[in-house]
Every structure is written in C-alpha cells, then in structure tokens.
C-alpha cells in the first residue's frame, strides 16, 4: 500500500530541507536501522519507522529492507511539515503583537529543547553518554570552559540573565551533533540507547530551526545565523527578501567574497554599533569602487556617482568638515542594503559577461 503522506500521522516535525539532506545521507549509508531512527525522530507518528522495521523483518517475502525508503525517496515532494496550530479564539479576536519579547517563556522553552536534544543523544559527543555504569563528567565544567560562568548545568532557566540566555543559545549550537545510529541499548537502570555515528551539519541545522522558532514566536528580533562568518551566532532578524539576499551574498565565491562576508558580519551583529555599521558600509563601498568601470558601462551616464556621493558626503567613508554626520541610523541601514543589492547586481552582470561568446 502506498504511503499515505497526506495523513497527519505522516506530517514532518523537521524542516523539509533539513530532512531531505539527512534522509539522502542516511539512505546512502544503506543502514535500515539508521533510516528507522531518522523516521522515528522526524515524523509525527512512528508508523513510517514501523514500516521500515517490517521491511527488514525475516517474514518479509520480498526480503527488501528499503522498499519503503525508496518509495519515500521518490515522493519527497509530497512530504509536508506539520503545520503550526491555527490561532485560538483570543488570538483571532484582535490580540495585539507582543510589545516586548517574552523572555521567561523563551528561556523555559529553550531549556526544554536542550533537554530533548540531550535525551535523543545530540549532546553525547560533547558531554558523553550519561550511562548508569559510567556517569559522565558534570557538563557544567565544559560550559564554564566556554562561557566563564559556573554551575550552568543542570539548566535553571529562571536564573538566567538575558545575556546568559543568549550565550547558552549560541554555545549549544556548537555542541549539538545528530546521532545516526544506536550502537546498543542498555536496559540497566533505564539507561537507554547508546548512540554513534554523529553528524554535525544536520544536528546544527535542526537546532537552528528549533531555536529560531522559539525566538520568533516569543517576539525576539534575533535569529541564529545559518551561514557566514557569524554562523551559529545571534544576529538581527530580517525579512525573507533580505534573508535571500544575505544567503546569496554569503554563498558567492569571487574576488569580492571576503569583504562582503566581513561587511555582513559587522552589520548584522546583535550588538552592532553605529561605527561597526559604518565600517560595513565602507567595505561595500570599496567593492563598488573597484567595479566603478562596470557601473559606468551599465548605468545611465552619471548615475553610478550617486552611490559614492552618499558614502563620501554623509560621513561614511571619510571624515571632514564638509560632510553631514547628523543622520538617523535608519539611513545607514538603507545605504547598507542598497550597496549590498548593488554588489549582487554586479555579480549578475559579471556572470552575464562570462556567459557571452
């Protein structure tokens, strides 16, 4: 019988992109037990994992441990993420957006998330398995080495300042790694599974998605950066269109890659000062200066000068008595995004040039 992927029990708990990448890696390993573990973790119901178990059963007349997995592979486009709950009555009846972030709720939700990751083996590579026969060392010592703060484990969210909360969000990103296999199951004293074959990339991707969801629903204007020089660090949130621009800019690999990535890191840092934002704009202005010939060639006559007039006359690139330093930070933000979009335009023009015979 075909997989009923429209059934709510087959809804995906993971982000689709994260699951696709990890499913491909696990399927390539030809390890049906690893596939079972992945499906138990990633889907709302264990039904899909149970089908994989039945596939490798001795009673299976076809003796094909991957028939379900191959069907899933062929129908990946039909998989759907579990939707967020629809708004409840008071939310539908005009409740206002959060005026301030809900720090208490976010801290407690984050502590539950870390406990869930720990229970599923995502912290075993960093902290070791807490086994009944061989208890692990106190994770507080590892956290203290990183953060210079003692007695952070077990997690006590009500005791965290906002800064400690943010630091813990970042440090656990560096610790998590997804276990792909169960090496053995230890019954004694409810010890449970001993995992192995840890993979950092899917662990961090899942962690990032879950943490960012907590921050978003509790009104924080911060997100863990998925890539760039500040990957795994909290940065100021942007809208989807600007997120796409940032991703393309960070992924680009050309002569301008390093200064552009450096500018992005400076600008979107959680605590970026006015001076750091100015430095980010200066880095982009230098990229544009190096491409001035192309800009003159492609823009209407004289239009490219407006890009540099702003940088030169508004106390961005230089400091002198003729400049205008008294402008709102919102204009600095506008200049950054304008310049970054122009760098992306230059890359597109260069690609077009390279494609011409």
Is residue 282 domain-resident? Answer: yes
What pLDDT, on the 0 to 100 scale, is given for residue 320?
45
pLDDT per residue of the chain (357 residues) written in tens, 0 to 9: 689 999 998 999 999 999 999 999 999 998 989 999 999 999 999 999 999 888 876 665 555 678 899 999 999 999 999 988 888 877 777 656 666 889 999 999 999 999 999 999 999 999 988 887 778 889 999 999 999 999 999 999 999 999 999 999 999 999 999 999 998 887 776 777 889 999 999 999 999 999 999 999 999 999 999 998 899 999 999 888 888 899 999 998 888 899 999 999 999 888 888 888 888 988 898 888 888 777 777 664 555 556 556 555 544 554 443 444 555 677 788 888 888 998 888 888 888 777 776
Cα–Cα dist 97/104, whole Å: 17
Same domain, 153 and 52: no
Q: Note whether 237 and 339 are same-domain residues.
A: yes
Enumerate the β-bridge partners of residue 222: 236
How many helical (H) and strand (E) elements, i.e. helices and strands, does the chain have?
16, 4
* Within a domain: 315: yes
Q: Would you state the pLDDT for residue 299?
A: 61
Phi, psi of 153 (to 5 degrees): -130, 135
- Asked if residue 319 belongs to a domain, the reply is yes
Total number of domains in the chain? 3
198 & 298 share domain: no
| 327 conformational bin, left if phi > 0, alpha if psi -120 to 50, beta if neither | beta
Cα 21 versus chain centre, distance: 14
Do 65 and 55 touch, CB atoms closer than 8 A?
A: yes
Please, which residues have CB within 8 angstroms of residue 64's CB and are 6 or more apart in sequence? 55
How many Cα atoms sit within 13 Å of 315 on the Cβ side?
A: 14
Q: What is the pLDDT of residue 23?
A: 96
Taking residue 235's Cβ as centre, other Cβ atoms within 10 Å add up to: 21
Count CB-CB contacts under 10 A for residue 291: 22
Identify the pLDDT of residue 127.
95
Judgement on whether residues 325 and 239 belong to the same structural domain of the protein? yes
Domain check: are 286 and 248 in the same one?
A: yes
Domain boundary residue, one of 62, 78, 94: 78
The answer as to whether 38 is a domain residue is: yes
In a domain? residue 208 = yes
Residue ranges making up the domain that contains 288: 228-350
- Residues 280, 301 share a domain: yes
The answer to whether position 262 is within a domain reads: yes
242 and 212 fall within a common domain: no
Instruction: Round to whole Å and give the CA distance between 163 and 264.
Output: 22
- Residue 56, domain member (yes or no): yes
Task: Quote the pLDDT of residue 315.
Answer: 47
Residue 125 counted as domain residue: yes
| Contact of 185 with 192, CB cutoff 8 Å | yes
Rounded CA separation 294/342 (Å): 12
Amino acid 88: pLDDT: 83
pTM attached to this predicted model: 0.83
């Amino acid at each position: 019988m075909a997989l009923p992927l429209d059934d709510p029990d087959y809804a995906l708990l993971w982000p689709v992109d994260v699951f696709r990448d990890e499913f491909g890696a696990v399927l390539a390993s030809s390890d049906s037990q690893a596939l079972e573990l992945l499906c138990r973790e990633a889907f709302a119901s264990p039904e899909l994992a149970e089908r994989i178990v039945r596939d490798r059963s001795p009673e299976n007349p076809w003796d094909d441990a991957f028939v379900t997995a191959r069907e899933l592979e062929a129908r990946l486009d039909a998989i759907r993420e579990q939707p967020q709950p629809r708004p409840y009555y008071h939310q539908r009846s005009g409740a206002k957006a959060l005026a301030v972030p809900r720090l208490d709720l976010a801290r407690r939700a984050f502590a539950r998330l870390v406990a869930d990751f720990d229970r599923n083996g995502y912290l075993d590579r960093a902290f070791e398995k807490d086994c009944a026969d061989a208890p692990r060392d106190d994770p507080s010592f590892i956290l203290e080495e990183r953060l210079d703060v003692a007695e952070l484990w077990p997690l006590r969210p009500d005791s965290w300042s906002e800064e400690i909360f943010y630091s813990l969000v970042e440090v656990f990103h560096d610790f998590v790694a997804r276990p792909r296999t169960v090496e053995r199951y230890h019954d004694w004293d409810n010890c449970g599974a001993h995992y192995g074959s840890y993979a950092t990339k899917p662990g961090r991707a899942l962690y990032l998605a879950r943490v960012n969801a907590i921050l978003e629903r509790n009104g924080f204007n911060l997100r863990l950066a998925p890539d760039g020089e500040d990957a795994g660090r909290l940065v100021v949130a942007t809208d989807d269109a600007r997120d796409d621009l940032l991703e393309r800019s960070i992924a680009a690999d050309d002569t301008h890659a390093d200064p552009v990535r450096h500018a992005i890191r400076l600008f979107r840092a959680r605590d970026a000062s006015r001076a750091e934002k100015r430095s980010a704009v200066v880095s982009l202005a230098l990229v544009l200066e190096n491409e001035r010939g192309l800009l003159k060639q492609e823009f209407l006559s004289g239009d490219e000068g407006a890009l540099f007039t702003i940088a030169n006359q508004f106390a961005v690139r230089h400091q002198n008595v003729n400049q205008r330093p008294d402008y709102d930070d919102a204009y600095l933000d506008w200049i950054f995004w304008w310049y970054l979009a122009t760098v992306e335009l230059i890359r597109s023009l260069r690609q077009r040039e390279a494609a011409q015979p």
